[in-house]
């Protein structure tokens, strides 16, 4: 094998750096960590890339898979920096990127009957490592129920509600040689506190009654949702910066409503 020519390593005459080159849409079994510290197996769609200097004709695509195999599919905020560093070393790159999208299921108990069911949340780990620092971001999208305050106020009875989706994108604060640990469940809890009521997969009649009245007692505009979540994230000492996006799939309109807030957490002593 050592006698075969390495075409990727040959010079390129055009003198143009490539910002990112790598593999995308790679489905791969991974393990993340739940709030109890136990491994949670799921299937992810990955994108991995590196910066390619102008002097090289191409990168070695197989080495991305080799690095992933070395970590046996464990992808967490603990292992992401190591994966990025291995990508840089293995591919002789100054900068590496990774994006890992997966579904994380949480077990939810119905509020009255206690009937358990699983609700899926879309999650993404994003990481970049260059010569100066590692940058890690966690994105979680959570379904919630929202009930319109205006509809409740102006109607003789009832109020329109809808399913909303809250996306929290957070950058953990640096801590020592790593970063603060922010669990997926932590962000799910913040999202559910920001809407009118949580969403469940399984509800019996007493549960449905409870959730309906809970939403009616806690009406929120889409603007309220992002402000609620932003206030909670600003007060979280583990968060360096964040973006919150809420989208309501309107039940009486033929369009959606959305709002976005980006910001930084409050200063930490």
Determine the straight-line distance between the first and last CA of the chain, rounded to whole angstroms: 57
Supply φ then ψ for residue 49, to 5 degrees: -150, 165
The CA–CA distances, whole Å, from 100 to 83, 190, 205, 210 equal 12, 22, 38, 36
Enumerate domains of the chain plus CATH numbers: 7-264 (3.10.270.10)
Each residue's pLDDT tens digit, 82-101: 999 999 999 989 999 999 99
Q: What is the DSSP letter of 122?
A: E
Model confidence, pTM: 0.91
Flag residues of the chain having pLDDT under 70: 1-2, 267-269
Given a contact cutoff of 8 angstroms between Cβ atoms, the answer to whether 56 and 8 are in contact is yes
Q: What is the DSSP letter of 267?
A: P
Q: Which among 190, 203, 199, 195 is positioned nearest to 233, based on CA atoms?
A: 190
Each residue's pLDDT tens digit, 128-180: 999 788 999 999 999 999 999 999 999 999 999 999 999 999 999 888 777 78
Cα 245 from Cα 142, distance rounded (Å): 11
User: Which value, to the nearest 10 degrees, does the dihedral of the CA atoms of residues 157, 158, 160, 162 take?
Assistant: 180
Please give the pLDDT value at position 269.
Answer: 46
């Amino acid at each position: 094998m050592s006698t075969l020519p390495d075409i990727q390593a040959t010079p390129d005459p055009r003198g143009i750096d490539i910002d990112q080159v790598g593999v995308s849409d790679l489905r791969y079994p991974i393990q993340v960590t739940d709030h109890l510290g136990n491994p949670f197996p799921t299937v992810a769609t990955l994108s991995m890339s590196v910066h390619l200097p102008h002097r090289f004709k191409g990168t070695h695509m197989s080495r991305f898979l080799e690095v992933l195999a070395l970590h046996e599919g464990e992808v967490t905020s603990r292992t992401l920096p190591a994966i990025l560093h291995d990508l840089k070393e293995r591919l002789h790159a100054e900068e590496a990127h990774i994006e890992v999208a997966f579904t994380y299921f949480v077990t939810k108990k119905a509020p009255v009957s206690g009937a358990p069911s699983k609700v899926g949340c879309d999650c993404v780990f994003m990481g970049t490592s260059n010569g100066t620092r590692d940058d890690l971001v966690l994105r979680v999208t959570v379904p919630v129920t929202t009930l319109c305050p205006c509809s409740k106020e102006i109607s003789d009875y009832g109020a329109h509600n809808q399913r909303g989706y809250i996306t929290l994108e957070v950058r953990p604060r640096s801590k020592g040689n790593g970063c603060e640990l922010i669990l997926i469940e932590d962000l799910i809890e913040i999202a559910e506190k920001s809407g009118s009521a949580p969403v469940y997969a399984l509800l019996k009649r007493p549960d449905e009654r409870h959730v309906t009245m809970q939403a009616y007692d806690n009406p929120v505009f889409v603007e309220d949702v992002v402000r609620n979540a932003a206030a909670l994230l600003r007060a979280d000492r583990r968060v360096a910066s964040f973006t919150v996006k809420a989208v309501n799939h309107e039940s009486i309109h033929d369009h959606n409503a959305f709002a976005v807030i980006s910001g930084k957490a409050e200063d930490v002593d």
